Structure 1
Amino acid sequence: MLVDQTLLLTQFMTLLAVLDPISHTTLFLTVTGDLDKAGRRKAALIAIPVAFIVLVVFAIVGQFILQAMNISLLSFQIAGGIIMLIFSLMMVLGQGGGHSKNPDVEGETPESLGVYPIAVPIIAGPGSMLAMVILMDNNRLSFFEQMETVAMLGLNLLIMLGLFLAGDLVSRIIGKHGANVLRRVMGILLAALSINLIAEALTKWLGLPPI
């Protein structure tokens, strides 16, 4: 079977827009701001595979699970938006988000930060999960086409991993105070994105005009 290059390009660009590696690199730096170079590298090497597994598994079984539990995609989008909103408020208010001075505190080790919040919900958030469910529609695409989607996801996450691993250079440039300011700015932007996810779902549900 020949590879549909148009489909591959469409999937790659869609995931690139949803995952937004540059913005996620900024978030990665703010969350891991108190880790050293080795800790940041470990967090990146944990976060990317975990995010990949979560997104692929959810793309495969998510549609069945949501249908079995009678949960609509809009409800899932609202729930995910609320979780992201709570995390973004913690970033803005200086609670969590990697600001603790003691990396040994529970929830602040490279391993724990790599899983939460970097892998989930920053990378594997409601937006990327919904995108994967749509791109791997079980009722529309063949198994081969679904594997193409998985390959495009892997390529995007490899790009993100490269940016994460190069983040130490960016961290040295912006400095500690710059990272603190950046954390709060990105928290505000993440809060806006969360509100947008919730508002989009409510707009579709209630049949309101777009915001």
Structure 2
Amino acid sequence: MASADQLINAFTTLLVTIDPPGLAPIFLGLTTGMSRTERTQVALRGSTIAFIILAVFALFGAGVLGVLGISIGAFRIAGGLLLFWIAFEMVFEKRQDRKEKATEVAITKDHIENIAVFPLALPLIAGPGAISATILLAGTLATSVGKAQLIGVLAANLLLTFLMLLVAERLDRFLGVTGRAILTRLLGVILAALAAQFVVDGAKSALNLISATPH
């Protein structure tokens, strides 16, 4: 069973990686012209699909790595570096620009009914960062009880994301451009620290593996 500190760490890592406040203005752009009911349907469907995607990676991601011959230590280092890059983009406001560009392309190519799947669920909510973080956390919470707790943490994060999307208009108005920029940078710094910890843990795991290998 995971400790309270581990669960808080898992929740924070996923929350910062998914970044619900940062999704709010993009969601508004995606659902322009929709009624409140239609927006709710898109938010619910997108959040549910994203939860299913992340839950699958939580349960089977480590197994896939094993089949590919990738150690969890190596993936922690790679995943930590990826999360650090995302944190860098958040601090310097590059991630939001990239998300908005991806959204513009998606709207021209996909019918409005499909935006809950693409680009909302994948890659905006369950993006590479969230998937990497989920697999990394699944490696930390490796027992059956730990996996169940991680699924619970995922459900809590996606529920919060869904609620944030429901109040996206009010949240965007409340934060404003300055508030969003400050919050995104703050979350980016937190994510950078969490990413660094993943790299340190991965390096320790890799060194232990090397020292345990007979020469």
Fold match, TM over 0.5? yes
One-letter amino acid matched to 2:128: P
2-structure distance, mates of 1:27, 1:181: 9
2-structure distance, mates of 1:19, 1:84: 11
- 1:71-104 per-position Cα deviation (integer Å, ceiling 9, x unaligned): 1112222332344445455553464122679463
Kindly state the Cα deviation for residue 164 of structure 1 after the two structures are TM-superposed: 3.1
SS for the counterpart of 2:99 is: coil
Distance 1:60 1:198, change over 3 A: same
Is contact 1:136-1:149 (8 Å) kept? Answer: no
One-letter amino acid matched to 2:100: G
Is contact 1:51-1:119 (8 Å) kept? Answer: yes
Decide which moves more: 38-47 or 125-134.
38-47
- Pick one of 106, 130, 133 that aligns with 2:136: 130
One-letter amino acid matched to 1:74: G
SS for the counterpart of 1:98 is: helix
One-letter amino acid matched to 1:69: L
Distance 1:167 1:190, change over 3 A: farther
Is contact 2:57-2:131 (8 Å) kept? Answer: no
Distance 1:8 1:86, change over 3 A: closer
Counterpart of 1:3 in structure 2 is: none
Counterpart of 1:4 in structure 2 is: none
Is contact 2:141-2:150 (8 Å) kept? Answer: yes
Kindly state the Cα deviation for residue 161 of structure 1 after the two structures are TM-superposed: 1.9
Is contact 1:34-1:100 (8 Å) kept? Answer: no
Counterpart of 1:67 in structure 2 is: 66
Q: Identity of counterpart residues, as a percentage?
A: 20
Decide which moves more: 64-73 or 190-199.
190-199
Counterpart of 2:22 in structure 1 is: 27
Counterpart of 2:100 in structure 1 is: 98
Is contact 1:56-1:150 (8 Å) kept? Answer: yes
SS for the counterpart of 2:53 is: helix
- 1:132-187 per-position Cα deviation (integer Å, ceiling 9, x unaligned): 343352xxx37xx7556534532443233223322321101223x33773586268
Counterpart of 2:178 in structure 1 is: 178
Is contact 2:51-2:155 (8 Å) kept? Answer: yes
> What TM-score results when the alignment is normalised by the length of structure 2?
0.62
Distance 1:73 1:33, change over 3 A: farther
Count of aligned pairs between the two proteins = 193
Counterpart of 1:115 in structure 2 is: 122
SS for the counterpart of 2:100 is: coil
CA RMSD of aligned residues (A): 4.2
Is contact 1:48-1:157 (8 Å) kept? Answer: yes
- 1:14-50 per-position Cα deviation (integer Å, ceiling 9, x unaligned): 5433333798222323654744565975664344223
2-structure distance, mates of 1:53, 1:169: 28
Q: Which has the higher helix share?
A: 2
Counterpart of 2:189 in structure 1 is: 189
1-structure distance, mates of 2:83, 2:26: 14
